[in-house]
Amino acid sequence: MFSSMLEAFLNLFRPIRTLQYPAEEIILPSGYRGLIEHDHEACIYCDKCEKVCPPGAILFFQHEAGEKEYRYNPWLCIYCGECVRACPKPEEALRQSEKKQLSAVAADGANEQWFVWEDACRQSREAYTAAKKSAKIQSKSEE
């Protein structure tokens, strides 16, 4: 018991073990799983990342002309890296950086804006397939 009391007393003179966070910077280890980064040029828009993402943090908006728009919600993402492993061009089109995302504030609209975007994406898909179908029927009837 006396040895543990001595130990506790000596601890008064030892350096602090916790990190003095706002004053000291947190050093992340190399290979930290951070934000997912997307490259518009390299992406082939195969939608594989969207399909495998467990929480559904990656969504593509379908424009009428045919091209797609990538959107990513860093506050919904669980940073598992499954999208990068599914990507046919990893490290080019999609890669996992070591950057840390700050917590969302009200102005970010982490929930509300994302719900709007989810609906918009779904509707754009439906409208696109419907338009394609009707175009097909029309071309067939013309023949």
Partner 1 sequence: MKKTIQIPLGSQHISLLEPIRFKFECENEKIIGVDADVGFVHRGVELACTRSFEFKQVGYVVARVCGLCAITHTLSYTLAAEKLLGYEANDRIKYLRMLMVELDRIHSHMLCLAHTAENAGFEALFMQIMGDRELIMEVQEAISGNRIQFDYISIGGVNRDLTSELSALIRKNLGLLAEKIDTLIGLFDNNWSLSLRYKGVGVLSLEDAYTYNALGPLARAAGLATDVRAETSDFPYEEIGYKMILESTGDIHARNFVRLREIVNSIEICRNIIENLPVGEIQEKAKGKPNGEAVIRVEAPRGELFYLVRGSGQNMLDRVRIKTPTFSAIPAMMEVFKGSEYADAPAILASFDPCMSCTAK
Handedness of CA 83, 85, 90, 96 (dihedral sign): positive
Rounded least distance, CB 89 to partner 1, Å: 17
Q: Does 78 bind partner 1 (CB under 8 A)?
A: yes
Q: Does 81 bind partner 1 (CB under 8 A)?
A: yes
Q: Which helix (H) or strand (E) holds 113?
A: helix 112-142
Indicate left, alpha or beta for 66 from its phi (over 0: left) and psi (-120 to 50: alpha): left
Q: Which of the stretches 79-87, 108-116, 118-126, 132-140 binds partner 1 when contact is defined by CB under 8 A?
A: 79-87
Question: Residue 66: helix, strand or coil by DSSP?
Answer: coil
Q: Report angle CA 82, 87, 91 to the nearest 5 degrees.
A: 95
Rounded least distance, CB 46 to partner 1, Å: 17
Give the per-residue contact string, 4-43, with partner 1 (x = CB under 8 A; - = no).
Answer: x---x--x-----x-----------x-xxx----------
Interface positions with partner 1 (CB under 8 A): 1, 4, 8, 11, 17, 29, 31-33, 52, 54, 78-82, 85
